[in-house]
Chains A and B, each alone.
Chain A
């Protein structure tokens, strides 16, 4: 069974750094892109960017470029989303999802990030 398992909920202060993870299983990790999606409280889905785990090539939405960094470690089939300096507006649920081609499936369970002073 293809599965993406994300790290647990985080509570951080503004200005702190954070890295959340997404571990894949049930398929060859380097075969498919991994995408990250944001969902702010009560809002819709937003495409953040994606990574090709085979060579760590990344694409970012212009809205998120420079604000987050996507990376991957193919030796442990894990993708990451990280921030160097969190803001209150980064409070959201973050999903990782496998991208076979031009669609997204399956999705991880989500990681809730709360940024509050």
Chain B
């Protein structure tokens, strides 16, 4: 299965909102509500930020939100803060007990 498509980069100023997209097909993103998002800081392991499209784990700020429309899922970071600068990856179930990640998006806080 092919990786999900994410923009290589995104940016915003402190306090602004930024949205990162994750595009797949009807066989993955569009076919299941099993999209999750991960934040990875340099040299660190990824961290779960959103699961099942829009659910937020305990401890994740409510500035992070997720949504989905058709074959595209989105992660929105509102009230951008310096600490949000990181790489972000989406993931989706693709059927047959397989999962796939997106290519990743580097978020820069200007």
CA distance A47 to B57 in the complex (A): 21
CB-CB under 8 A from A44, the residues of chain B are 3, 89, 101-104
Q: Cβ of A47 and Cβ of B99 under 8 Å apart? A: yes
* Residue from the list A45, A50, A61, A62 in contact with B46, Cβ < 8 A: A45
CB distance from B48 to the nearest CB of A (A): 4
Q: How many residues of B contact A (CB 8 A)?
A: 26
Report yes or no: B34 in contact with A61, Cβ–Cβ below 8 A. no
Chain B residues in contact with chain A, CB under 8 A? 1, 3, 32, 34, 36, 38, 40, 45-48, 51-52, 57, 89, 91, 93, 96-104
A-side interface size class:
20 to 34
Please give me the residue from chain B that is nearest to A47 by CB atom. B99
Q: Write the nearest CB–CB distance from B3 to chain A, whole angstroms.
A: 7
The answer to whether residues A45 and B52 also contact, given A59-B97, A103-B91 and a CB cut-off of 8 A, is no
What residues of chain A have their CB less than 8 Å away from a CB belonging to chain B?
35, 37, 44-47, 50, 59, 61-62, 95, 97, 102-110
